[in-house]
Each structure stands twice: as C-alpha cells, then as structure tokens.
A = this chain, B = another copy of it.
Amino acid sequence: MSGTKGKRMRLHAPASATPKAQDVATAVLRTADLLRRRVAAALAPHGITSQQYNVLRILRGAHPGSLPTLEVGARMIEQTPGVTRLLDRLEAMGFVHRERGVDDRRLVECQITEAGLTLLARLDAPIDEVNRHAVHALGPAERRSLVRLLELVREGG
C-alpha cells in the first residue's frame, strides 16, 4: 500500500470527480457485459453462441489450413481447457473437422468446414452491425483513445 493517500472527503461530490479504481473496473466490466449480451442476441437465432462464433472466426483465419486445439484456445478471448468441448459441439454441428496430426500424433488439427464458412458468411454482417452500433457514439479520436486506455489497463497491470 502506498501509505496515507489522504482522500479528504468531498462534501458534495462534484459531478465528475476522478473515479476510484473500482469504479473504473466496474465500468469496463459492465460495458463488456453489455456488448457480450448484444452479440449473443444477434447470434442466438442462428443457433450458435458467441464463443462458438469466436472459434469459427479463428479457424476461418487459418483456412484452408488448420490449427491445433490449444492454438485455437490461445487465440480466444478466454483461454484454454474449455476449447475441447467447444470444438466437440462445433464438430457435432458439422462446422468443424478434426483429426489427429500426422506428424505429431499428440496434436489434434482443427479446420473449418464449408458449412462453417457458409454460416460465418451469413453472420458477418449482423455482428458487424452490432459492433458498429455499439461505438457509433464515439468519434475516430475517441475510439483511438478508448483502445489506447484499455491497452494501458491490460499491459500496465
């Protein structure tokens, strides 16, 4: 702890005082939750979740190549061991194809299927619309600023 930081009480809080660390964290969490929910709502009618969508996009990025399971996990927003089950469902739905690596048989190579690509193609526009709508209140400078501040939080921590 950095000692007696003082914090004299403000008797009638000014509209926009410097927010406490916790308030900043809460703002980030609340905003993320809102975004997540909107994406989920846009995806729901198509029968996939935002995590599944995320995985499919990662695999599309590698198409026509493939990626080992854990590499997919490492590229997602939230990490690892859930990836197996995520891929299980995507494979069951026919959007992903998996097979043991030939070179190194520990690896499981994951590849998006044609059906997966087709699905993504239908999803791109709606999702982009959601994201665009979310930041429509921000001008270019504000977007840059927001992204930079968030980077500082992630890296400076």
Contact = CB atoms under 8 A, between A and B. Distances in A.
A1 to B, nearest CB: 8
Contacts of A36: 29
Contacts of A27: 146-147, 150-151
Interface of A: 1, 16, 18-36, 38-39, 77-78, 127-129, 131-138, 140, 142-157
- Copies of this chain in the oligomer: 2
Contact of A24 (B39, B135, B155): B135
Contacts of A148: 16
Contact of A25 (B21, B135, B142, B151): B135
B143 A24 contact: yes
Contacts of A136: 156-157
A50 to B, nearest CB: 9
Given A78-B33, A143-B19, A146-B146, A152 B138 contact: yes
Given A19-B147, A27-B147, 17 more contacts: A18-B140, A18-B143, A18-B144, A21-B128, A22-B131, A24-B131, A24-B147, A25-B131, A28-B28, A30-B154, A33-B78, A34-B154, A35-B153, A137-B157, A138-B152, A142-B149, A146-B153
